[in-house]
Structures are given as structure tokens and as C-alpha cells.
């Protein structure tokens, strides 16, 4: 019979029938003791009713969130008894097919023990199960091979949707060690977004790494481009030539010292234009 457990709760607000059903490690720490109610899965119900005993250690797990994982430790302080929320109309987990004289659903009471100094995410446990590099293995040298094997066999990694799960004693010990001693925060993974992005860029081909690099970094590291002088357009060239010619025309020879500038001579009037006499057969006006 198992004697270590994992219980899931949702730390972020979620409303069912208008009622917020979230329950975080911070909220658990404030209330200290809480009934574990609202379980509506038969296998999980059987664990609550038949197997969970006073004093059994519990891993308090954040689920249905961006980074799920083990956040705190607790223990069972009251064994299974009927869950009265099942026959309370209007409760988020009301079940009209059960009644007090024939209960279907059960719950236990759990007591808060302590927070873990290092949050132990699900993605880290999956990473441990897949295998560690030599450097990573050195960072968590406090874990034995038996610890790693027990973590890899956890139901959490294979039947993750069950809200009440038994935990092997060795796996429980491994998670407590991870939560207390850490050593994995710098590893690339979902718990370290910057490290994960850096590892992806290092593993990507050169072209892909430059394409995925943050804007500005690739431009900063790229060699300077050769600049090519643009030739003027034909119209701009013509305008330049015209202005240059005009400048030559308006440029005057320098005057000698003391020489007065004379006004330009007036232009001679143009000779009056004579109208030639009409030719014979012309349709023009005849001379008077």
C-alpha cells in the first residue's frame, strides 16, 4: 500500500459556476489545514477513501498553469470521509446522483508543512527521466541512480491528469532533495527561458542562429557592408550642368582698385519690320 502522495491544485484563478476553485501554495500556507474536496474521479476517490492515512507525506503540486510542478510539502491529518460538497446544490462540484445516506465521493484533510526553497517543475522531472549530461549530473550529484530511476517511473510522468497519485518513497526523497538543494536553475529548460533560448541558438545551424538572434545582435556582429556611391539621375546631372553654365556666364572679371562700375550701355532699338508688298494672286490685304 502506498504511503506517499501527490495532490494537485490549481494556483491560478479559474471559475466553475461562478466560484473560484483555485488553491495555491501561498493560500495553503495561510489556512494551514484544508479539506481536499471536489475530487470526482473514481480511482482518485478510492485513494482518498481507502489508502490515505494520517501522517502520510504529500507533495503539493501546482497544475493547469504555465509552469506546473511541486511547490510545497504537506501531510494527511484526517483520513477519508464523505465529501459533503457533492450534494450541495450550487457548489462547483455538485453531483445530483449522490446523497448523504449513500455517499459517492470522499475527501481527506491535509496540513501544510513547508514550502520548498526551489520549485521543482514537471519539465525538470521529465528532463531527469530522459537523461542528464555529464555536467548536469555533477550539479545534482546528491541524487543517486536509484533516485533518477524512481523519478522516471513516477505516474506523474505517464498519467499526468490524475489529481491524486501515489508516489514511490525514493521518488519522494528525490523531489525533496531537488527542492531543498537545487543546482538545476541554470540548466536550459522551461524553468530557465533565457538558458533554453541560448542553447537552441548554439545548437542551430549558423544561418538559422543568425536568423533567430534578437534584432540588433545579428546586425551588430555582422561585418560592415561596402557602401556604393549612387550616381546622379540624368535630370540632376542636367540641372548641375545648367547651373554651372549660368555661373560661368554671371562670373565677372575682378575690378581694379578704385575703378567705378559703369552701367551697361542701352541696347539699340530693333529696326521696324517692313511688310513686303503683296504678290499677285495673294489673298492678303492690298496696299492702300
Spell out the domains of the chain, with CATH numbers in brackets.
Answer: 5-184 (3.10.590.10), 188-219 (no CATH)
pLDDT of 149: 97
Residue 28 near residue 60, CB atoms below 8 Å: yes
Q: Is the pTM of this model over 0.85?
A: no
Within 150-202, strands assigned E span 164-166
Which residues, in sequence order, are bridge partners of residue 59?
Answer: 6, 73
Cell numbers standing for residue 195 = 538558458
Contacts of residue 176, Cβ cutoff 8 Å, sequence gap at least 6: 73, 116
Strand, helix or coil at 39?
coil
pLDDT at position 192, please? 83
First to last CA, the chain: 142
**Predicted pLDDT of residue 281:** 46
Residue for grid cell 533565457: 194
Tell me what pLDDT residue 199 has.
Answer: 61
The stretches in the chain having pLDDT less than 70 are 194-288
- Supply the pLDDT for residue 193: 73
Amino acid at each position: 500500500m502506498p504511503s506517499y502522495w501527490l495532490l494537485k491544485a490549481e494556483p491560478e484563478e479559474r471559475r466553475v459556476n461562478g466560484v473560484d476553485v483555485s488553491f495555491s501554495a501561498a493560500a495553503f500556507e495561510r489556512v494551514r489545514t484544508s479539506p481536499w474536496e471536489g475530487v470526482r474521479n473514481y480511482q482518485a476517490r478510492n485513494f482518498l477513501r481507502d489508502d490515505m492515512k494520517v501522517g502520510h507525506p504529500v507533495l503539493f503540486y501546482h497544475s493547469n498553469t504555465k509552469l506546473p510542478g511541486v511547490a510545497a510539502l504537506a501531510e494527511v491529518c484526517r483520513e477519508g470521509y464523505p465529501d459533503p460538497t457533492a450534494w450541495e446544490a450550487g457548489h462547483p462540484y455538485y453531483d445530483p446522483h449522490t446523497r448523504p445516506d449513500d455517499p459517492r465521493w470522499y475527501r481527506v484533510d491535509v496540513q501544510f508543512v513547508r514550502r520548498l526553497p526551489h520549485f521543482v517543475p514537471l519539465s525538470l522531472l521529465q528532463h531527469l527521466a530522459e537523461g542528464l549530461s555529464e555536467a548536469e549530473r555533477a550539479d545534482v550529484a546528491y541524487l543517486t541512480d536509484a533516485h533518477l530511476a524512481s523519478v522516471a517511473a513516477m505516474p506523474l510522468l505517464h498519467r499526468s491528469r490524475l489529481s491524486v497519485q501515489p508516489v514511490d518513497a525514493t521518488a519522494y526523497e528525490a523531489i525533496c532533495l531537488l527542492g531543498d538543494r537545487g543546482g538545476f536553475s541554470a540548466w536550459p529548460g522551461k524553468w530557465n527561458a533565457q538558458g533554453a533560448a541560448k542553447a537552441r541558438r548554439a545548437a542551430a545551424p549558423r544561418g538559422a542562429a543568425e536568423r533567430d538572434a534578437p534584432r540588433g545582435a545579428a546586425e551588430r556582429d555582422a561585418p560592415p557592408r561596402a557602401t556604393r556611391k549612387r550616381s546622379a539621375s540624368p535630370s540632376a546631372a542636367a540641372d548641375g550642368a545648367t547651373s554651372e553654365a549660368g555661373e560661368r556666364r554671371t562670373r565677372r572679371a575682378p575690378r581694379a582698385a578704385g575703378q567705378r562700375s559703369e552701367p551697361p550701355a542701352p541696347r539699340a532699338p530693333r529696326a521696324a519690320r517692313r511688310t513686303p508688298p503683296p504678290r499677285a494672286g495673294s489673298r492678303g490685304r492690298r496696299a492702300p
